[in-house]
Amino acid sequence: MSLLNSSIPVTFNQLYLNGGYSAPHSSESFSVLNPKNNTLVADRIPVADDTDVDNAVKFAEAAFAGPWSKFSATERAACFHRLVDLLEERLPHILRLDSLTTGNPVSLIPTRERNYIRNCLLYYAGWTDKQRGDYFPDDDGFIKLVRHEPIGVCVAINPYNSPVASFFIKAAPCLATGNVLIVKPSEKSPLGSLAVAALFEEAGFPRGVVQVLTGDGSTGARLASHMRISFTGSVATGKKIQVAAAQSNLKRVTLELGGKSPAVIFEDADLENAVTWTVNGILARTGQVCVAASRVYVHRSIAPKFIELYCTRMKDAVNDIGDPQELETKFGPLADTAAFENVQSMITRAKKESEQVIGGDRIGEEGCFLEPAVVLNPNPDAEIYKNEVFGPVSVVKTFDTEDEVIALANDTEYGLMAGVFTRDINRAMRVSAKIDSGVVGVNCVSLMNIQAPFGGKKASGIGREFGEYALRAFTEPKTILIK
């Protein structure tokens, strides 16, 4: 079946292998529903089996050793630029596909989604001819050269919340460094990834350089046991992938996992700015982002005013929740019934483990729409305080001293994103250095930039994406000694 306009031929009942859509070996399949009303969007989507994975690997190896290995940096960059031109017209249609199964509002497409993907591709197009190595003089009788060589066949196992954007975040540095890529999108949102795959050959990338295998966790496990992985998702799944990678051939793994991001609001902060960033940081994609500002710490002296403004803004957000396929909608439903029920259960338990819970009720009688929730001063061991919710739910807790809030912010297994809100630049630099997080914003939070490394500490992941740092994840250094 096809949900795109006629200019983009695509089927969702086949895999994308070696430059074309082809029937899977597997007979197992799954369906995807629209979370706004639980109606069927597409069925008979393949669950790739061992044979399908083996075929994808065979094609990828042939592509890596074939014409792609002879492309110059300029030719690779030209492919990137042609892909950007193709996406200019077709990307909105492709992104609408994933809106049907994730609940992501189509209002994000013209700005956030489109610009994010375009800028990512243009940025890495500029890196294709900058893979410089190193030279060390022959002071010991040997000239030392260091080359950064592509790894070869790589795999991206992507999350459901921003599937096409994640596709390009992995593909751009991977292809810029001369590798080839197999993409396994989430079983909750495979449609956009299947649709966008064909554009790579149209842009000039040789067949087999980019392939898409659909499936569930079993397909991901097959890939994790087979080759190098780049994974974005939950901590539990990330641990399984790391084990599978180690047990197979000790392949390198980059893991961008979950978060429980703290935002620290000091007494001298610009209150309006702090409220705006922290509210937007928990409502974006209905809270289904790893960098969501889900823990807000506010100084006791300004807590009453901040909490009043914050809760009012969260309540008002209900007016912007609606049909994700309508352009005026800012926030959609949770991704599916399982996610909705999990978040509601956590809110119910939070009512017994905190001073107060504001909001958190179901909106309407059908679909997975949830009222944003604020949990005030939860118990230190409360589930809602310790665990990632992945929904529009934040906790707000008061503090008195700088040392106290640093300890609170770091008292978590996560370390992905944080924010510090203050007018005091010395305190901003001091506290941002002490917070144990891969990214810290000052007077902002839940923000990423393609030029700067992004990734987490502790259980939030291994390795870095974005910027030059992502290129190192897709290359191996080789030392050459010349006597």
User: What residues contact 235, with CB distance under 8 A and at least 6 apart?
Assistant: 257, 258, 388, 413, 459, 460
Which of 44-58, 89-103, 211-225 is least confident? 211-225
pLDDT of residue 37: 95
pLDDT tens per residue, range 302-349: 999 999 999 999 999 999 999 999 999 999 999 999 999 999 999 999
pLDDT above 50 for 7: no
Among residues 173, 165, 166, 164, which one has the least CA distance to residue 233? 166
Number of helices and strands (H, E) in the chain?
Answer: 14, 20
Q: Which domains does the chain have, with CATH numbers?
A: 15-257+461-482 (3.40.605.10), 262-452 (3.40.309.10)
Kindly indicate the confidence band of residue 385, based on its pLDDT and cuts at 50, 70 and 90.
very high
- The residues with which 354 forms a beta bridge, in sequence order, are 378
pLDDT above 90 for 55: yes
Among residues 386, 194, 359, which one has the least CA distance to residue 286? 359
pLDDT tens per residue, range 260-298: 999 999 999 999 999 999 999 999 999 999 999 999 999
- Dihedral pair phi/psi, residue 362, rounded to 5°: -65, 145
pLDDT of residue 240: 65
pLDDT of residue 247: 64
* From 113, 187, 256, 388, active-site residue: 256
pLDDT of residue 131: 87
H/E segment holding residue 127? none
Among residues 159, 171, 140, which one has the least CA distance to residue 60? 171
Kindly indicate the confidence band of residue 232, based on its pLDDT and cuts at 50, 70 and 90.
very low
Structure tokens at 426: 């010395």
Which of 111-120, 272-281, 426-435 is least confident? 111-120
Quote the CA–CA distance of 399 and 265 in Å, as a whole number.
Answer: 9
Residue pair 380/370 in contact by the 8 Å Cβ criterion: no
More reliable by pLDDT, 426 or 3: 426
* Residue 328 bears catalytic tag: no
pLDDT of residue 252: 58
- The residues with which 220 forms a beta bridge, in sequence order, are none
Q: For the residues of 332-374, what is the DSSP string, one character each?
A: ---SSHHHHHHHHHHHHHHTTSEEEEEE--B-SSSSS-B--EE
The chain-wide mean pLDDT, for the chain, equals 91
